[in-house]
Amino acid sequence: MVNTEYDIVASFTREITRVNLAFKQHIQLKLRQNNIDLTFEMLSVLSCLWEQDGINQQEIANITVKDKASMTYLLDNLTKRELVYRQEDDTDRRNKKVYLTSKGKELRVQIQPWVTEMFGMVGNNLPADSVKSLTQTLEKIRENLR
Amino acid sequence: MVNTEYDIVASFTREITRVNLAFKQHIQLKLRQNNIDLTFEMLSVLSCLWEQDGINQQEIANITVKDKASMTYLLDNLTKRELVYRQEDDTDRRNKKVYLTSKGKELRVQIQPWVTEMFGMVGNNLPADSVKSLTQTLEKIRENLR
DNA sequence: ATATAATAGTTTGTACCTAAACTATTATAT
DNA sequence: ATATAATAGTTTAGGTACAAACTATTATAT
């Protein structure tokens, strides 16, 4: 069987997609099992705010690797669920800062352990630091693509 | 600055998403610049057929890491563009085999070089075999998540 | 000072994702 | 043989992605 560079990279792109999907499905299963009406994407915005409450929409978009149009939509959905609210920035009225409601803060207690658990599973049976070096290699690859 | 396991894995998940996005954007730019009315996802189905014409929808879904409902949608779109057609399998009428039209075959000449070029960029300035071992590590991580 | 550029966010249109319920067909068990 | 399970594909509904055009606001250049 021939194993050309083309095939190697093709498998690589597929495997990236699969790992991405695995994270998503793992979390969505937890959410479904606990009857929590949230998607993976909404959760990634919430996680972001659990770390830094009150940042603006563009900052959330950068951190969560989404574009600002999606952010408008996602925040509308989170607002409907009364988990966040927007507030215009007085010092720069282009910005809208996003804050967690008390309901949004409370969810952290229930959900973050699942994320922590999932993240903990990642490094099993792998050499120490291998996730870190993996990430660095991925960064280089992304550089190569520009 | 603290660098907990949580943070390390969080960066990892983000970097995966970014690399995925980089592939997508690279290709979509090429398509746009050449006025080709195709999305990244449609192209991944086409690529699959360029390798193996006449496989069924579920097989395409497995290879392209999509689910069968998306496949129905994508193939409808490709059929509208007259690039593929479906044909019921006589030996098992549950299956629909998918074939390239001549137009779908011709596109390969124009598009595949762009993919090959992009795939070639991936390994730049990286040790030989590092993409391969990267893929293997990703496979292990995916195993860990089940 | 004022034209121009840059930035944040929204809207729109097209496309994609995915769980769940569904139809049709084939495989398996007893 | 026949009930049951498994499989392939479609449909539906709610949600997401993203380019392009848009408004509002702030920054920059001359």
pLDDT of amino acid B54: 94
The C1' atom of C21 and the CA atom of A27 lie apart, in whole Å, by: 23
Chain B hits for A19, CB-CB cut-off 8 Å, are 16, 138, 141-142, 145
CB atoms within 10 A of CB A98: 25
pLDDT of amino acid A128: 81
pLDDT digits (tens, 9 = 90+) for B108-142: 999 999 999 999 999 888 898 899 999 999 999 99
Structure tokens, B144: 């860990």
List all residues 6 or more positions away from A143 whose beta carbon is below 8 Å from its beta carbon.
none
The C1' atom of C25 and the CA atom of B95 lie apart, in whole Å, by: 9
Do residue B126 and residue A116 have CB atoms under 8 angstroms apart? Answer: no
pLDDT of amino acid B4: 85
The C1' atom of C19 and the CA atom of A27 lie apart, in whole Å, by: 14
Nucleotide nearest to A95 (CA to C1'): C8
Low-confidence ranges of chain A (pLDDT < 70): 1-3
b/e A53-68 (16+ beta carbons within 10 angstroms → b): eebbbebbbebbebee
Give me the count of residues in chain A: 146
Chain B hits for A15, CB-CB cut-off 8 Å, are 135, 138-139, 142
Do residue B144 and residue A125 have CB atoms under 8 angstroms apart? Answer: yes
pLDDT of amino acid A62: 94
DSSP SS3 for A91: coil
* Interface test with chain B among A134, A139, A140, by most B beta carbons within 10 Å: A134
pLDDT of amino acid B2: 55
For residue A11, which of B127, B119, B39, B9 has the smallest C-alpha distance? B119
Residue with tokens 């996005």: B21
Low-confidence ranges of chain B (pLDDT < 70): 1-3
Q: For the CA atoms of chain A, what is the radius of gyration?
A: 18
* A58 contacts A48 by C-beta, under 8 angstroms: no
**Whole-angstrom distance, CA of residue B82 vs CA of residue B76:** 10
Going from the N-terminus, what domains does chain B have, and what CATH number goes with each?
Answer: 37-144 (1.10.10.10)
* A107 contacts A123 by C-beta, under 8 angstroms: no
